[in-house]
Structure 1
Amino acid sequence: MKTFKGRVVTPGTSKAEALVSHGGLNTLASFQKALQFGDKTSKCSDQNNEDLYGKPMAGKALCLPQTIGSTTGGLVLYTACSMGRQPACMLFANHIDSLAAAGAILANIWLDGISMPVVDSLGEEFLAYVKDGMQITIDDEGIVTVI
């Protein structure tokens, strides 16, 4: 068991199974099939992300360095939340980019009953430590516990 302290971007608590990407998450490419074709498990459709491709992202603790890709990133995250196809939480090793932050924050404010806590600045040690399937718990203060 190890704990990491990050910065809370959107508040909340969460307990979920880790899903880890060591490369940047292209939000549009990753969520495209889930949003367009009704995949409720949000299997990653980004063929360029070998860590996540084909794996369900909905309800997982998505651990990643950062997001990459187009300017639609924030809208894609917001839409995934509005459809109930979002990760349980998003945990960034690096600082979150403004587009991903916008999507998460708008979902947190505008969507009643939707929760997707986001913590960033967890550091490279976090991403090196966490593995797929580990249990992740987040508290209100941005403390992330990995078991």
Structure 2
Amino acid sequence: IPRELSAYLIGIIIFRVYGDRPLGNRPAVAIAAFMACLWAATLNPFVELACALVFAPLIVRASLSFGKASWAIGAGALSYPLYATHVPALQLAKLFGASPAWSFAFASLLAIAVTRLFETRRKPKAAPPALAAGELASA
């Protein structure tokens, strides 16, 4: 929890400094920076800590200035069902002696099924009706 909490707090600080201002529109640079951080994090624990606490929040912040791509929206919709179902799915696959590749495929298909069954059928809630000026004054 301390590592996640500190990254969260650093994200808040970055937002306070930069606000909603775009940090550029260079997706290739953000992807390259992310890949460099993944590689650099293997060098030693201090570099890993710097990547997790400083560079990861900056990369996330920089990616907010990109336009929304349909694949990103789909991946975002799958992220929570995958998070919520991957451990039981992997344990079930392991119980039946499945290889890691089949376990991964099973967990992914289960997340897709959960998303399709629950998320796509959910209807957005209607916004509450606005109060008329007369109703607001009498309330």
Q: Which TM-score bucket, shorter chain as reference?
A: under 0.3
1 or 2, which has the higher helix percentage? 2
1 or 2, which has the higher strand percentage? 1
Which one has more relative contact order, counting CA pairs under 8 Å at least 6 apart? 1
TM-score, structure 1 as length reference: 0.26
TM-score, structure 2 as length reference: 0.27
